[in-house]
Amino acid sequence: MPNRIVVTELGGPEVLKYEKYELPKNLPDSQVRIKQTSIGLNYIDTYHRTGIYPLPLEFPFCLGLEAAGEIIEVGNQVKDLKIGDRVAYSFSPPLGAYCEIRDFESDKLVKLPDFISNDEAASILLQGMTVEYLFERLYKIKKNEKFLFHAAAGGVGLIACQWAQSKNSKMIGTVSSEEKSNLAKKNGCEFVINYKKENVYEKVLNITKNDGVNVVYDGVGKDTFEISLKCLNFRGLMVSFGQSSGMIENVNLHSTFNPKSLYYTRPTLMHYIRNRKELELSSNNLFKKIKNKEIKPNIFKKFKLSEASDAHKLIQSRESIGSIILQP
């Protein structure tokens, strides 16, 4: 019997349990069976574990939105995939990536090119497609444009640094240490602000010659919300795509956004890969960047699947630099 990680109740990393499970005897016609080799750990997994993002699921339930592996069985109606193909998926419901073997809808899978390993795919697909839609479709960053991106040395942040550099855009990234500052610069971040030592708002005004920025990408949430708004120019766009520091509460729409006629959006990757066409567009844009060596996967640490609770502790410490993967 294969093994998986389940959430037994809402709470801290200790609620994650390693257990055996049974697979269905009959594979649905539209699905394939995947022997997973690499599972991506993403901050949203902690929201599902704690209940910050409530789920209509009964306990115990299996976590995870991203993984890569090899197809070991194919449903009768599947035409474009075969046994032995390497595939990956990201942010396609239902949850359940924290396991050794999984049945999955074939039309939600991405076939991996030869130049990307399973570990690399699991470490970068969700984060890379997130940057793709943020920079290419939600708001298309321009050559020489200065913009603000919080947590520039995290998994998404480091990809953002490289993507911005590939477009000759001037990313202003916030970090919490000298080590992370150096890493962000190494990956292409034009300006780096250590928010532990520097005033982010004052530095942004200095960099932009008092104009502020036209767009802020904020995946931190509560701790950076007010700063992000201050850094925006008139009619600027606030892109709140995560809340690693907690949910934003009690926002007065008039007093918050009216003074500078600001725009606000709370996007999610799921809404930018809603169909096969969008999934292929996003993943192909990412794969092209990787093939051209404009984007390099950055795996910070690998854990055994059975060590998922330790991996969750690390990602919530905000001390990780790059991506974390679980290996069955």
pLDDT digits (tens, 9 = 90+) for 252-288: 889 999 999 999 999 999 999 999 999 999 999 999 9
257 found inside a domain: yes
Over 80: is that where the pLDDT of 181 sits?
yes
Q: Furthest-apart CA pair in the chain: how many Å?
A: 65
Whether 292 is in a domain gets the answer no
Task: Print the domain residue range for 204.
Answer: 127-269
Is residue 322 predicted with pLDDT exceeding 80? no
Shared domain check, 168 and 45:
no
3-state helix, strand, coil in the chain (%, to 5): 35, 25, 40
Total domains in the chain come to 2
108 and 131 both lie in a single domain: no
Q: Does residue 223 form part of some domain? A: yes
Q: What is the mean pLDDT of residues 224-232?
A: 96
- 10 and 53 share a domain? yes
Confidence grade of residue 246 (pLDDT, cut at 50, 70, 90): confident
Instruction: Give how far Cα 206 sits from Cα of 63, 119, 176, 214, 234, Å.
Output: 43, 40, 19, 15, 17
What average pLDDT score do residues 229-254 get?
90
Query: Is 87 within 8 Å of 96 (Cβ atoms)?
Result: no
Q: What is the CATH number of the domain that holds 40?
A: 3.90.180.10
Mean pLDDT computed over 228-251: 90
State how far the Cα of 77 lies from the Cα of 284, in Å rounded to an integer.
Answer: 24
36 pairs with which residues across the strands? Answer: 69
Distance, CA of 215 to CA of 235 (rounded, Å): 9
DSSP annotation of 212 = -
Q: Which DSSP letter does residue 134 get?
A: I
Is residue 19 domain-shared with residue 66, that is, in the same domain?
Answer: yes
Q: 3-state class of 116 per DSSP?
A: coil
Q: Is residue 193 part of a domain?
A: yes
**Is 141 a domain residue?**
yes
CATH number, domain with residue 218: 3.40.50.720
- Taking phi over 0 as left and psi of -120 to 50 as alpha, with beta for the rest, 64 belongs to left
196 is a domain residue: yes
pLDDT band at 155 (very low <50, low <70, confident <90, very high): confident
Q: Is the pLDDT of residue 179 over 90?
A: yes
Look at the pTM and tell me if it is higher than 0.75. Answer: yes
Residues 153 and 218 in one domain: yes
Inter-CA distances, 145 with 171, 213, 278, Å: 8, 9, 26
DSSP state at residue 84 = T
- pLDDT over threshold 90, residue 242: no
Q: Are residues 131 and 244 in the same domain?
A: yes
Separation of CA 261 from chain center:
29
What is d(CA 109, CA 69) in angstroms, rounded to the nearest whole number? 11
- Give residue 304's pLDDT: 98
Note whether 259 and 153 are same-domain residues.
yes
Residues 10 and 60 in one domain: yes
Q: Are residues 256 and 321 in the same domain?
A: no
Residues 183 and 263 occupy one common structural domain: yes
Whether residue 250 contacts residue 79, with contact meaning beta carbons closer than 8 Å, is answered with no
Please check whether residue 289 lies inside any domain of the structure: no
Which residues does residue 170 pair with via DSSP β-bridges, in sequence order?
146
| Residue 302 covered by a domain | yes
pLDDT score for 221: 83
The residue among 126, 124, 184 whose CA lies nearest residue 150 is 184
Is there a single domain that holds both residue 209 and residue 155? Answer: yes
* Residue 240: pLDDT over 80: yes
Instruction: Give the per-residue pLDDT at 313.
Output: 96
> Of 131, 139, 90, 87, nearest to 113 (Cα)?
87
Q: In terms of domains, do 148 and 246 share one?
A: yes
